[in-house]
Structure 1
């Protein structure tokens, strides 16, 4: 009994001492912690709407055992009370071992961490590895969240990237009042991402899953939502923004270099502010050797998004992953030193914060920061450039854009507006059924009868041989008690389709002699 009590006392003392340990103000790459303490949670959950494992193991062929749903190991950084066990960088590395297998025991996780320590030591030396993995981070594990609700940032790693890939970014943003949520860049059926459309869909749906998860967090404000990502994740998040209008801002670290995929994104459905930070440019011959198609860039075809394109000259593609940058071999740094690359990473993270403050929190001071030259913000000269392309005004050639324009200008302007939008994008087409359904929806709204008539008239002008649209127009006029116009519409419908029983019955009623 005494031993148990003593062990309990020592454990409690250790946790308390850990909780009271001072948090360093300066983190990796010279990042300065914000005014808020940071909490970190690791949540192991499944997306039961999707399978991850088939009936047979893809390696051994043996029957699959255990849960087959898609595992989403979720890491969350959030504003918190300054209490709880301290987190070291090794704690983040340890999570890699359970990213697609939640059944692993603590001993197995410890063994995986030991193997990681050995690998890191072989790369950068034992002393440096001990310093990297032993780094005291800003976060405290499972700390109580601060009161209030904070904007949400969903982060998507690149191919093979872990959920902690941008732990420094997560901690930094959380210290400035954001909730950051990430999971591994997981393939459709295996740990590694599939480099194809299925892989894009898998990560995009992971982003959607995390958005839904954030909705249930009491401290998360999903009405102020941004997505960020590196490389493949920086492309998948654009696909997510195309489909989910709740996303208010985009951040990409050197992503969207796959035009065979990004050409599928409608430039009229990505309308949110976008910060794109890229590595130093390659010469044309290098791009050709890498097989990169330079004939198309999604960034250049977007017309209705406020786009900030930033170049960080000291950085190469992999440098945007803090997890990779931490353990780069000394010989990796050539033209730019480690200090210069880390400084560029520092400013990358700083610009992400200011961009989110400007677009998600609507801070005027952050907008002014973005509009200044980098050197005027303290960025070393010749390190970075930034260029803004302002969003064009005018309605979007989409159903939603058309509806918004009709609300502002009036439904009687539908024909002219439709021609204007089709001139911008010939693929924007409304079918007879689209217009007919729209007209009936308007007719069911209080005070929407005149707009319904205008919509049906637009439809009969666009599809003059549609007996159904003339029939619907007749019904709308009938509801308005405009008998003459209703009779004319029903007669035209019958001319186009003499077998239209509805028009015949309604016309007989309207023309019957009392």
Structure 2
């Protein structure tokens, strides 16, 4: 509590928590195997350990949890919850997504993001940029309350928000607080992101005994209580436990594919034995999105533009109508070929192109030129000849062959 003197840790009620027994073990042995990982983004200018109790709970149930503090772009301070602040925290999250690859016990195919308050909106923009994330947990995330900040990002794209998503919201803010704190009443009911999602299985909960600060361990245990709206400590603790249990069930369902957990997140609260006086739930199912060229590029990028022909065959098996335009593949191949260090990737794209379009002369011409830049004259000659065979008037191929066959 000495780390957070402004939270009110000197009250008798808060000090009493220090005598409570916990089940944490010192120097516990590591379990063997690979485990799903939860990357956490904290609230506005907050510590990386703000939700330590939830972290411990998830870790004890087989999840690796990694977190970093919330810091600004140019200094340690954020600038008021701007789009720039959101992008900065998103990049911090992506840094952690890279760092997890240093740990051999992490399963890189089972990654979730979790965030509280401003960390929630930062994670929302991250999933629109990064296709390696499998699920998103938001603990009263700001994406519910400040949607315009999200929309201003150049990465904003609802079609790319296509993973399971759960948002836990605070109880309705009472009229007295709305008036005295000049809070818009629509924050109690408006949730534009949830309403706008088309390709995500989305779950929205409202916990009737929690206010905003109680979605973090530090807030639950040590923050001052607002007598205008906060419930009793017992109710807050019980509801935070409920929040933790629902978070675990969602992650078990989405990252571990556990059947009982899937049933739990699909059930209504009363079917799970939970009174609706404690929690309110709504959910929506994902629509079907047609696989398109951007989806293909994301998958190709994720595997470093290697093995593109097997990738294409796998895609077509699931999406028989998908066929990228020849000019699109040619443009992508040219861009990669002229990008430092990515010539081989460009060649792979051209090879896919001639596989799909064996009669398209320009693709062979581009492939030949890429081989030429790679000092592979034999393959360059072969493909310039193929291009000329398909288009006898291709002057570029004629000129190049004269140079190569001197």
> TM-score, length-normalised on structure 2?
0.73
CA-based RMSD: 4.0
Distance 2:328 2:161 in 1: 20
Q: 1:339 deviation in Å?
A: 2.5
Structure 1 residues 287-346: Cα deviation after superposition (integer angstroms, max 9, x where no partner): 994358878722222212211111112222222122112224456374743322322221
Q: Is it true that 1:120 corresponds to 2:14 in the alignment?
A: no
Which residue of 1 is the match for residue 351 of structure 2? 444
Cα distance in 1 between the residues matched to 2:16 and 2:111: 35
Paired with 1:410 and 1:472, the residues of 2 have a C-alpha distance of 27
What residue number does 1:314 align with?
A: 209
Answering whether residue 53 of structure 2 is matched by residue 168 of structure 1, we say yes
* Counterpart contact for 2:47–2:70, Cα < 8 Å: yes
Q: Give distance in 1, aligned partners of 2:171 and 2:22.
A: 29
In structure 1, the residue corresponding to 2:195 is in which secondary structure? Answer: helix
**Bigger radius of gyration, 1 or 2?**
1
Does the CA-based 8 Å contact 1:150-1:221 persist in structure 2? yes
Distance 1:174 1:225 in 2: 14
In 2, Cα distance between the equivalents of 1:241 and 1:249? 9
- The aligned residue for residue 433 of structure 1 is 331
Q: CA deviation at 1:197?
A: 2.8
Q: 2:285 aligns with which of 369, 390, 403?
A: 390
Tell me if structure 1 keeps the 8 A contact 2:388–2:397.
no
What is aligned with 1:241? 127
Deviation at 1:356, TM superposition (A): 0.3
2:101 aligned residue = 215
SS at match of 1:226: strand
Give the alignment partner of residue 272 of structure 1, picking from 152, 163, 167. 163
Tell me if 1:231 matches 2:95: no
> Would the alpha carbon gap of residues 396 and 384 (structure 1) be closer, same or farther in structure 2, given more than 3 Å must change?
farther
Structure 1 residue 431 displacement after superposition: 9.7
Shift of 1:245: 1.8
Query: Who is 1:180 aligned against?
Result: 65
- Aligned residue pairs total 358
Tell me the equivalent position of 1:259: 147
- Please give the alpha-carbon distance, in whole angstroms, between the structure 2 residues aligned to 1:332 and 1:193: 29
Measured after TM superposition, the shift of residue 142 of structure 1 is 4.7
Q: Is the aligned partner of 1:199 residue 2:104? A: no
Q: Structure 1 residues 328 and 471, CA, compared in 2 at 3 Å: closer, same or farther?
A: closer
Are residue 337 (structure 1) and residue 232 (structure 2) matched? yes
Output the CA distance in 2 between the equivalents of 1:146 and 1:279. Answer: 36
The whole-number CA distance in structure 2 between the counterparts of 1:411 and 1:215 is: 35
Q: Post-superposition shift, 1:178?
A: 0.9
Segments of 5+ residues of structure 2 without an aligned counterpart are 300-310, 337-345, 370-379
Q: Which has the higher strand share?
A: 1
Say if 1:211 and 1:222, in contact at 8 Å, map to a contact too: no
TM-score, L = length of structure 1: 0.59
Contact 1:258-1:292 within 8 A present in 2 as well = no
Note if contact 2:112-2:133 (Cα within 8 Å) is conserved in structure 1: yes
Deviation at 1:269, TM superposition (A): 1.8
Residue 130 (structure 1) shift: 2.8
Deviation at 1:192, TM superposition (A): 3.9
Q: Is the 8 A contact 1:161 1:185 kept in 2?
A: yes
Aligned equivalents of 1:411, 1:393: Cα separation in 2: 14
Contact 1:306 1:390 in 2 (8 A): yes
